[in-house]
Amino acid sequence: MTIHFTISRYLHKNLILESIKPCLTFTFATVVSLFSLATLGNDDVTQWVDPFIGTGGDGHTFPGAVIPFGMVQLSPDTAAVSRGIDPQAQIYKHSAGYHYDDDTITGFSHTHFSGTGHSDLGDLLIMPMTGTVHIQPGTPDNPDAGYRSRFSHDNESATPGYYSVELTDYKIKAELTATARTGLHKYTFTENGKGHVLLDLTASIYNFKNKVIWSDVRVIDPQTLLVYRSTNGWAKQRETYFAIRFSRPFDDIELINEDNNRYRCNGCLSKDSKKNKPSTIVNSAIQFTAGKAIKVLTHFNDVNKEPLLIKVGLSAVSRKNALENLTTELPHWNFDQVRQQAKQQWQQQLSVVKAEGDRAQKRQLYTALYHALQAPSIYQDVNGQYRGVDGEIHQTTDFQHYTLFSLWDTYRALHPLLTYIAPEKVSDMIQSMLVHYQQSYDKMLPIWSFQAHETWTMIGYHAVSVISDAYLKGIQGFDTELAMKAMIATANNSRYDAIDDYKKFGYVPMDKLSESVSITLEYAYDDFAIARMAEKMGHKTVAKTFFERANSYKNLFDDDVKFMRGKSSQGKWNPDFDAEEAKLMGPFTEGNSFQYTFYVPHDVDGLINLIGGDKAFEQRLDLLFNKELSHEKIKDHEDIAGLIGQYAHGNEPSHHIAYLYNNAGKPWRTQERIRQIMDTLSSDQPDGLAGNDDVGQMSAWYVFSAMGFYPVAPGDLSYSIGAPQLPHISLNLNNGKTFSVDAKHLSTANKYIKSVSLNGQPLLRSYLTHSDIINGGKLKFIMSDQPNKNWATSQAARPPSMSLKNKN
């Protein structure tokens, strides 16, 4: 998803074949693999992760160093700009700071979103330099005008927890690694003479004018700085503290306040700086400056003697905590040790999945897993303190606090996937949502929140889906009654969007709120998720109420046009209806009626009935995939991308649709579509993602779909079967059991399921249940080049729907 707020538009995906790059990466990965064989053995799966996948096209991933769910993402920025919109910055394209198209780097900053459509972060840009000292970034067209350096993908590499690049203009090799809360830079200067390191506190991602509210820098000693920065971006007044330590003392430092007549504290370290003390209100010997445009230059003599390392601890709470995070997690200067630890954390987290397949398949799969393990990310200091959505400092005692809930995206597949690949984190993530509810002034579960801020981005209240799905799967460790209370309160909050009208009318009237159809449909699904959990908890009245609300989708289905359609509070259908149009402030959210009419994931059978039965439904699905969508209809939305007809794989509302053929008794059509999507909209190249990865949702779609199934309606505990894409994938579950998927005879031609068995017994339905997976077992597909039109066609064999199975 993205939000309607973009400045530049990246229309033409980079289709130039980057033929040499994968080979280089592979070579480098092989070296790392050999290096670490002693500890990782032959099962080193980190070798298959290519952090560059998604950094091209509209993937919006970053290539830098991070550990699983880490607070710090230390990564190169290629378009970060100082103070205001650089006309060349293309801010949508640079949502993750870096884009593979670029050939200059502005520096390395410590926080990045993975795959978002809107953006923020890019905190504390650091850039080493030699030669002429610059404090302005320069432009991509004229990097010599600033501190920006040229670079080449030939001299760049990235593996989980590690990134390296040669800054061509400075002949500096830059290497990055990270712990949970710290970033570690290693700069190897290859020429004699002086070196310089710039900290540009004005640089940021999605950097509008006056984004920096305030910042300050204090020199603690000639190796240590404390930095504060507050920015007004997607999050209002987001505050970050940094403790920065250099591996050796700088020989001089300049604190530059560009708003203060570009005052430079030249030679602050020399005693002579005091003699110009301008008044009794200044102590110019105190190395501190504060303002909205602060830059720091540190200078080093004889830089080529040994590499210069810089370690940076982050905190959202205080300078003290930033320093404590730094000294706790990074007490030493052993870069290789940190890099190895990061790699081992990835190896441990990634080896939950064991896959066989060709190189490209494994690269896609493990990179998708890698991208699915980025967030929600740690948002708590080593001492347990964190900043809550109320702006207050809180202390955890019994859970790890997480942030970054891109829920409109991630409730669909990412959170269901985490219940298998990182189940030990799920309860803490839910507890983080529950404290958000408790701490929020609006008494709401998160909508789209990060770093102590609710952005109110996108629609629905999908936190309820995440909680319900986890609860029904038996994830424990959170207060379930509190959770139910929070879910009900959220779903009934009068202040949020149009909930009161939704309850009153049974739909959101289009004259009350824009995006009224999408909102109604997503509320209805969310209500199903609440009902399912309430039902299981024995809260019968609640379950009944919300199962009824889950039928609200029917109120916006116009039987005349057979589409979901806007309706006014007077009950009048939208007179300007156009099933293909996706306009801003219209009845749909980043989509059109063609796509959103399919958004009844919890009651596909009910939808099939409305549309007119299996055949009509299949035809409608085909129309979706076949009818070309003109650019004119979607010109407001750069996120409606990755098109097959009207199907937009690059945006979330389409993600479940290919699986719906199963519900019409045509599973081979789903199998075809999955392969079609895989073949045309996914690769192991930098531009291999069809759209924003959206904090792992696109990647989670890939992981599930590659295994051969997908959670169409999280909370119903079923997975619609598609078509496996790798010959073998197994999940090492944390209950000690293994669920394995084998696809015999899988090939380019053999995209169809001939038959499937579970634990040796024929599986005659086109869906799996959570029990099938969590109890361990062997799912074996026999693939064929011919569709099996007899398998799983009966009503009983189709994936469950609320109207058939769950309605009380």
Q: Does 214 bind its own copies (CB under 8 A)?
A: yes
Nearer to its own copies, 26 or 288 (CB): 288
DSSP string spanning 242-311?
A: EEEEESS--SEEEEEETTTTTEE-TTTTSGGGGGG--STT--TTS-EEEESSEEEEEEESSTTSS-EEEE
Show contacts with its own copies in window 296-325 (CB under 8 A): 318-320
CA dihedral (69, 71, 72, 75) positive or negative: positive
Q: Of the candidates 285, 561, 623, 749, which one interacts with its own copies according to CB under 8 A?
A: 285
Q: Nearer Cβ to its own copies, position 24 or 513?
A: 513
Q: Give the residue from 104, 143, 109 showing the smallest Cα distance to 127.
A: 109
Q: Which two tokens stand for residue 693?
A: 């990865």
Q: Which stretch binds its own copies (CB under 8 A): 212-220, 468-476, 655-663, 710-718?
A: 212-220
Of residues 249 and 391, the one with the C-beta less far from its own copies: 391
The type of residue at 805 is K
Return the residues of window 589-618 that contact its own copies according to CB under 8 A. 589
* Number of H-type helices and E-type strands within the chain: 19, 40
3-state secondary structure of 82: strand
Least distance from its own copies to the Cβ atom of residue 282, Å:
6
Reduced to 3 states (helix: H, G, I; strand: E, B; else coil), residue 455 is: coil
Give min distance, CB of 6 to its own copies, in A: 11
Beta carbon of residue 457, minimum distance to its own copies (angstroms, whole number): 5
Q: How far is the CB of 604 from its own copies (least distance, A)?
A: 26
**Residue 797 makes contact with its own copies by CB under 8 A:** no
What does the per-residue mask of binding to its own copies show for 421-440, with x meaning CB under 8 A?
A: --------------------
d(CA 404, CA 121): 12
End-to-end CA distance of the chain: 34
Asked if 191 is part of the footprint of its own copies (rule: CB under 8 A), the reply reads no
Comparing CB distances to its own copies, the nearer of 327 and 341 is 327
Closest approach of its own copies to the CB of residue 82, in Å: 19
Q: Coil, helix or strand for 353?
A: strand
Residue closer to its own copies, measured from CB, 155 or 237: 237
For residues 118 and 656, which CB has a smaller minimum distance to its own copies in the complex? 118
Q: Nearest distance from residue 654's CB to its own copies, in Å?
A: 18
Q: Does 281 engage in binding with its own copies (CB under 8 A)?
A: yes
Rounded to 5 degrees, what are φ and ψ at 150? -65, 155
Give the interface segment with its own copies, choosing from 133-141, 159-167, 488-496, 659-667 (CB under 8 A).
488-496
Give whichever of 114 and 440 is closer to its own copies, judged by the CB atom.
440
**Interface of this chain with its own copies, residues 92 to 151, rule: CB under 8 A:** 118
Residues within window 3-22 making contact with its own copies, judged by CB under 8 A: 3-5
Site for its own copies in 491-520 (CB under 8 A): 494-498, 500, 511-515
CA distance 355 to 674: 19
Q: Kindly state the smallest distance separating residue 382's Cβ from its own copies, in Å.
A: 16
> Which of residues 91 and 165 has its CB atom nearest to its own copies in the complex?
91
Q: Which is nearer to its own copies, 320 or 354 (CB)?
A: 320
Residue in 88, 155, 190, 237 binding its own copies, rule: CB under 8 A: 237
To the nearest whole angstrom, how small is the minimum distance from the Cβ of residue 512 to its own copies?
6
Shortest distance in whole angstroms from residue 589 CB to its own copies? 6
For its own copies, which residue of 8, 232, 438, 757 counts as binding (CB under 8 A)?
A: 232
Measuring CA to CA, how many Å separate 515 from each of 166, 222, 395, 455, 592?
Answer: 47, 55, 38, 17, 10
Looking at 9, 277, 359, 572, which residue binds its own copies (CB under 8 A)?
A: 277
Bridge partners of residue 747, in order along the sequence? none
Site for its own copies (CB under 8 A): which residue of 271, 398, 570, 796? 271
Among 24, 213, 482, 489, binds its own copies (CB under 8 A): 213
C-alpha–C-alpha distance, residues 782 and 757, integer Å: 9
**Could you say whether residue 166 binds its own copies (CB under 8 A)?**
no
Residue 661: CA count within 13 A, CB half-sphere: 22
Side-chain half-sphere CA neighbours of 622 within 13 A: 10
Instruction: Please check whether residue 531 is in contact with residue 467, taking contact to mean a CB–CB distance below 8 angstroms.
Output: no
State which residue, 271 or 332, has the beta carbon closest to its own copies: 271
In the window 439-458, what residues touch its own copies (CB under 8 A)?
441-442, 455-458
- Burial (CB count within 10 angstroms: exposed 0-12, middle 13-18, buried 19+), residue 627: middle
Contact 509, 516 (CB under 8 A): yes
Complex with its own copies: residue 317 or 372, whichever CB lies closer? 317
Size of the site for its own copies (CB under 8 A): 59
Distance, in Å, from the CA atom of 159 to the CA atom of 363, rounded to the nearest integer, reads 12
State which residue, 17 or 585, has the beta carbon closest to its own copies.
Answer: 585
Q: Kindly list the distances between the CA atom of residue 57 and the CA atoms of 54, 193, 381, 642, 685, in Å, as whole numbers in the listed order.
A: 7, 40, 35, 10, 10
Q: Name the segment binding its own copies (CB under 8 A); options: 131-139, 211-219, 306-314, 675-683.
A: 211-219
Q: Which is nearer to its own copies, 245 or 319 (CB)?
A: 319
CA–CA separation, 670 and 752 (whole Å): 9
Contact 235, 221 (CB under 8 A): no
Beta bridge partners of 448: 406
Give the other-Cβ count within 10 Å of 616's Cβ. 15
Q: In whole angstroms, how close is the CB of 572 to its own copies at the nearest point? A: 16
Residue 223 binds its own copies, judged by CB under 8 A: no
For the segment 531-590, give every residue that binds its own copies (CB under 8 A). 584-585, 589
Tell the smallest beta-carbon distance from residue 456 to its own copies (Å).
Answer: 4
Are 471 and 429 in contact by the 8 Å Cβ rule? The answer is no
Among 150, 171, 173, 220, binds its own copies (CB under 8 A): 220
Rounded CA separation 369/696 (Å):
8
Least Å distance, CB 221 to its own copies, is 10
Encoded one letter per residue, x for contact with its own copies by CB under 8 A and - for no contact, window 370-409 reads --------------------xxxx----------------
For 551-579, b/e burial (b = at least 16 CB within 10 A) is: bbbbbbbbeeeebbbbbeeeeeebeebeb
Q: Which is nearer to its own copies, 508 or 524 (CB)?
A: 508
Of residues 455 through 484, those in contact with its own copies by CB under 8 A are 455-459
Contacting residue, 236, 305, 745, 789, with its own copies by CB under 8 A:
236
- Residue listed under structure tokens 């959770």: 483
User: Which residues have CB under 8 Å from 588's CB, separation 6+?
Assistant: 515, 517, 518, 582, 595, 596
User: Taking a C-beta distance cutoff of 8 angstroms, is the pair 690, 61 a contact?
Assistant: no
Cα diameter, the chain: 91
Which of 24, 290, 537, 758 forms a contact with its own copies (CB under 8 A)? 290
Which is closer to its own copies, CB of 447 or CB of 621?
A: 447
Centre a 10 Å sphere on the Cβ of residue 288 and count the other Cβ atoms it contains. Answer: 14
The residue written with tokens 């993530």 in the block is: 429
Q: Of the two residues 118 and 666, which places its CB atom closer to its own copies in the complex?
A: 118
- The CA distance from 251 to 194, in Å, is 10
Least distance between its own copies and beta carbon 88 (Å): 25
Binding stretches for its own copies (CB under 8 A): 3-5, 118, 213-214, 216, 218, 220, 226, 228, 230, 232, 234, 236-237, 271, 274-275, 277-283, 285-286, 288, 290-291, 318-320, 390-393, 441-442, 455-459, 494-498, 500, 511-515, 584-585, 589
